[in-house]
A and B are shown apart, each in its own frame.
Chain A
Amino acid sequence: MFAKIWHNFKQIDYKFHLVCAFLMRLMVIQYGRYHDENFSVPFTDIDYKVFTDAARHILNYTSPYERHTYRYTPLVSILLTPNILLHDCFGKLLFSFVDIIVALLIRSIVKNTLKEYECYKQKQDYKYLKSENKLKLTHPEEKQTGKRQGGGRHRKKHKNVDVRKTELEITADLSMLLWLYNPMTIAIATRGNCDSVAGMIVLITLYFLQCKHQPFHAGIFHGIAIHVRLYPLMYSLALFMHLSKFSYYSADYRRQKIKKERKVSETEEKVTTKNEQHHSNESKVHKRNKHSKKSHKQNKTNENRIVKAEVTTVENSSESKNNQITAYQDNKKERKTIFKKEYLLYVIPNFDQIKLILGTIISLIILTGIFYLLYGYEFLYESYIYHLVRKDTRHNFSLYFYLQYLTAGIKNIGIWQKLLTILPQIILLVIFSIRYGLNKLALNFAILTLTIVMVSYNTVLTSQYFVWILAVLPLCLWQIKMSKKMVFALTVIWCTAQIAWLLPAYLLEFHGHNTFLYIWAQSVSFFCANMAILGRFIKNFMPIRDENKV
């Protein structure tokens, strides 16, 4: 019964969902108006009032920064001037519309990465597969469905009602729905929070980078994203690394790998079997496959050591011959912290990377320059510097809040405290950027892990920061293989940790109980929950899905 409903649900056209989700948001906005009139605790976000007031300043030809606590780009207040000219719900409508665009972006990015991934599985040359038609023919699942229905694509064109979606489309649509029907995203847009706008620009960057392969455009949007909200700055290294020629699972890498496989000699075979442990489906060439896998399971650590030794010896012999292999092996070495001079080559930008950097710098400088001329230093301080030096000692979800509060009055805090606060997150950010950035199929996952690290290690953490995660989470959920039980458990843990934090915080803020220590304890558990979830994601992340394995 439920399976059937679920099956039918999956077949619904995505446009229907878009309209439906938009109508849902309209209804919530209408409810918000009713709520604000009748209840003392307002439905509308405080920031929404800030935007509206700033827009009022814009209309009076004064600086939006005259509004206290306006800490955003002037673009937001300019966009929201219709709030005063037309109706004060305009901004909420705009943010709801942004939600719909985000959903479309999620859909196309997921579709694209899925295709790329299928390409990779097909072991085909990238250029050959680039043309869509050929890709469709080689797509195994699409082939099946095509056979079953006589070409799903063609039917759609004839507006047949009984069109079935392919697996690929279903995955893409489900990822989109996760964003569209998420109560949190609905609440955020309809309460008038602008963070989904930043999410949208980040997604546009990813879209241009992955789907359009236009690094310059991606750079332009990356610059805008940094301008709107400072946090996408942290993605820069991952984006840069994504364009690296040294990345594995890339087109060149595949080509080289196929060549390599043909040339494999007896001595090198073991190394390639090691590769296959991660993507065994494409390694039919090697017959020792199974054997090595078994031994790997039996004695992991032992083999790790052996393989590492083998890798280095092989690497030495074929160093000049094949750069790609080094690129692949880089990760192993990086983990083992063996530094090699070749790694410095990674930093030298190639043509695409230069385009990306140029685009970013151009848009960032233009936007900053214009607004600096208009509003002066106040703009620089409020929209950039403030976010860097922000030190809010009031209670929040952050692990570091109570420590910061306790040391707020003390002048001579050791540098070690600052160092220990910043260092763990910097290390994680850099390693994630390099490791997953270099993986051609894992850019979305890189962005997700970076965001989670950034949010959970932030010294100020409020619930609006969770939007950052929500916007990029649907992009790579299909790459994280988890059982339904696990997904459910993680969701429950995360929500419980959050609610458990809210109780002492409520008692402190509205009833004046001294619950600082309890809030801190809950912040600690919330941090642990975040780390546990991140850990599960990493453990279960599979850039190369192997149906036989699962």
Chain B
Amino acid sequence: MLIKSVLPFLTLLLSISIYPILCNNNTEEETSCINLKFSISQNVENEGFHREINWLIESLDLDNEDWSNLNNSLCKVSLQLHLPSGIFVSPDQISELIRQGQISAYIDGHVNVETPAHESEGHTVYVYIASNNLEKVVVQLPIHLRYQRAVISGGFGKVNLPRPSLLVYCPQVGPQICGEFPKLHAPCDVSGNHCVWQNVTYQALFDEVQLFVPIGDLDDYPLVSIVTLLLGCAGSIYILSLLSTAPL
């Protein structure tokens, strides 16, 4: 009886004493969310089949508090790049760069480095950026272009290099980033375990680029096929004719 009468009172007391703590917590979180604003500029170096993408990522309006918050947090930042079938990232080159400590990246999807574009599939690369120097960071990624199917009148083939997405992941505990962004599953790090990332908007200081690849000219086909095949035969006939007169 006594217990029954005391219980509501107790719960009331408990909730009153806890409420400010909860409330406080909430307000603190709201104020300490990290206000991330990025700008990215992109530049593709080299010509021909082997290129290098350089991204310059800069954080805008990041005040000291945000800065220290970000450093204390376990947040991760990465660039996600969907490569079309005409472009590939060499897995072996990447693992070599990882071993040398020059890059931290993960390739999602199977990459065959030898097939031409029309026999290949696209894949996705994640380049992880260390969060302690987010103020201004340069990320380099070597890419390679694939051969494309020969066409009539040849010339150059176009490959669109899509814009990368900027992903941010913050663990459940600890400070979060401000604002709501679309969420997606993607590998957390080089090992390939999945996390839920947020696809953060950024200010792109570049236009989407098109890369040009030389393409074989199908107009050459009659000439090439006739000369090549005849020459192959002619070579062997020439050698055979020599054999018939050469001494044993």
How many Å lie between the Cα of A278 and that of B247 in the bound state? 6
Interface presence of B202 (CB below 8 A): no
Check B154–A516 contact: CB distance below 8 A: yes
Q: Which of B3-11, B34-42, B211-219 contacts A (4 or more CB under 8 A)?
A: B211-219
Check B92–A67 contact: CB distance below 8 A: yes
How many Å lie between the Cα of A189 and that of B3 in the bound state? 90
Q: Which of A17-25, A121-129, A366-374, A421-429 contacts B (4 or more CB under 8 A)?
A: A421-429
Give the total number of A-B pairs whose CB atoms are below 8 A apart.
151
Q: How would residues 21 to 59 of chain B score, 1 for a CB under 8 Å from any chain A CB and 0 otherwise?
A: 000000000000000000000000011111000000000
Q: How would residues 211 to 242 of chain B score, 1 for a CB under 8 Å from any chain A CB and 0 otherwise?
A: 01111111011001101110111011011101
How many Å lie between the Cα of A403 and that of B231 in the bound state? 12
Check B150–A510 contact: CB distance below 8 A: no
Q: How would residues 266 to 278 of chain A score, 1 for a CB under 8 Å from any chain B CB and 0 otherwise?
A: 0000000000011
Which chain B residues lie closer than 8 Å to A166 at the CB level?
none
Interface presence of A242 (CB below 8 A): no
Interface presence of A399 (CB below 8 A): yes
Which chain A residues lie closer than 8 Å to B47 at the CB level?
510-512
How many Å lie between the Cα of A59 and that of B51 in the bound state? 34
Given A514-B215, A516-B216, also A509-B48 (CB < 8 A) = yes
Interface presence of B147 (CB below 8 A): yes
* Chain A, Cβ-Cβ closest to B213: A512
Which chain A residues lie closer than 8 Å to B216 at the CB level?
402, 405-406, 516
* Chain B, Cβ-Cβ closest to A549: B247
Check A405–B242 contact: CB distance below 8 A: no
List residues 491-550 of chain A with CB under 8 A from any CB of chain B: 508-517, 520, 524, 527-528, 531, 534-535, 538-539, 541-543
In the assembled complex, the CB of A296 is this many whole angstroms from the nearest CB of chain B, namely 11
Check A408–B149 contact: CB distance below 8 A: yes
* Chain B, Cβ-Cβ closest to A403: B228
Q: Which of B62-70, B110-118, B180-188 contacts A (4 or more CB under 8 A)?
A: B110-118
Interface presence of A431 (CB below 8 A): yes
Given A277-B247, A514-B155, also A69-B220 (CB < 8 A) = no
Check A406–B218 contact: CB distance below 8 A: yes
Check B232–A431 contact: CB distance below 8 A: no
Interface presence of A155 (CB below 8 A): no
- Of the four ranges (under 10, 10 to 19, 20 to 34, 35 or more), the interface on chain B belongs to 35 or more
Which of B149, B214, B246 contacts A541, CB < 8 Å?
B246
Check B113–A69 contact: CB distance below 8 A: yes
Which of A53, A421, A535 contacts B238, CB < 8 Å?
A535
How many Å lie between the Cα of A399 and that of B217 in the bound state? 17
Check A393–B147 contact: CB distance below 8 A: yes
Check A392–B46 contact: CB distance below 8 A: no
Check A69–B92 contact: CB distance below 8 A: yes
Check A420–B233 contact: CB distance below 8 A: yes
Check A421–B232 contact: CB distance below 8 A: yes
* Chain A, Cβ-Cβ closest to B47: A512
List residues 68-83 of chain A with CB under 8 A from any CB of chain B: 68-69
Check A509–B50 contact: CB distance below 8 A: yes
Given A277-B247, A515-B214, also A393-B116 (CB < 8 A) = yes
Task: Return 28 A-B CB contacts under 8 Å, by A number.
Answer: A50-B92, A53-B95, A68-B111, A68-B113, A400-B228, A402-B220, A402-B228, A403-B225, A406-B150, A406-B221, A406-B225, A409-B149, A420-B232, A421-B229, A425-B236, A427-B240, A510-B46, A510-B47, A512-B47, A512-B213, A516-B214, A517-B220, A527-B231, A528-B231, A531-B235, A535-B242, A538-B242, A542-B247
Binding site for A on B (CB under 8 A): 46-50, 91-92, 95-96, 111, 113-114, 116, 118, 147, 149-150, 154-156, 212-218, 220-221, 224-225, 227-229, 231-233, 235-236, 238-240, 242-248
Q: List 9 additional A-B contacts (Cβ < 8 Å) besides A53-B92, A331-B248, A408-B147.
A: A402-B224, A406-B216, A406-B225, A409-B149, A409-B150, A424-B235, A431-B240, A510-B49, A520-B228
Report, nearest first, the 3 A-B pairs whose CB atoms are least far apart.
A409-B149, A424-B236, A514-B214
